[in-house]
Amino acid sequence: MEVEMIEVLLKGVGVGVAVAAPVGPIGLLCIKRTLADGRATGLASGLGAASADAVYGFMVAAGLAATGLLVSYAGPMQIFGGTLIAILGLMSIRAFLKSGDARAKAADAKEVRGMISAYATTFALTISNPMTILAFVALVAGLGASAASSPSAPFILVAGVFFGSALWWLFLVTAAASVRSRITPRATRWLDLVSGIVLLVWGAWITWAAL
Q: What is the model's pLDDT at position 8?
A: 77
What pLDDT digit, counting tens, does each position of 51-80 carry? 988 887 777 766 665 556 666 666 777 788
What pLDDT digit, counting tens, does each position of 133-159 carry? 666 666 555 555 445 556 677 778 788
pLDDT at 171 over 90: yes
Q: Of residues 28 and 144, which shows the higher confidence score?
A: 28
Dihedral of the alpha carbons of 166, 170, 171, 174, in degrees to the nearest 10: 170
Longest dimension (CA), the chain: 60
Q: What is the model's pLDDT at position 137?
A: 64
User: 80 phi and psi, to 5 degrees?
Assistant: -60, -45
Q: What is the model's pLDDT at position 63?
A: 66
CA distance 202 to 24: 9
pLDDT at 16 over 50: yes
Q: What is the model's pLDDT at position 58?
A: 77
Task: Give the mean model confidence (pLDDT) for residues 116-143.
Answer: 73
Give the residue among 32, 52, 68, 77 at the shortest CA–CA distance from 180: 32
Q: What is the model's pLDDT at position 167?
A: 93
Cα 162 to the chain's mean position, in Å?
11
Burial of 193 (0-12, 13-18, 19+ CB in 10 A): middle
Identify the three-state secondary structure at position 165: helix
What pLDDT digit, counting tens, does each position of 73-117 carry? 667 777 888 888 888 888 888 877 875 554 444 444 445 557 888
Q: Are 65 and 144 in contact (CB under 8 A)?
A: no
Q: What is the model's pLDDT at position 142?
A: 56
| pLDDT band at 184; cut points 50, 70, 90 | confident
Q: What is the model's pLDDT at position 170?
A: 92
CA distance 110 to 137: 39
Q: Of residues 113 and 169, which shows the higher confidence score?
A: 169
Listed in sequence order, the DSSP H helices in the chain are 2-20, 25-37, 39-61, 69-72, 74-97, 100-109, 111-127, 134-142, 145-148, 153-178, 185-210
Looking at mean pLDDT, say which of 17-21, 63-67, 174-178 comes out highest.
174-178
Q: What is the model's pLDDT at position 105?
A: 46
In the 8-state DSSP scheme, what is residue 181?
Answer: G
Q: Are 192 and 96 in contact (CB under 8 A)?
A: yes
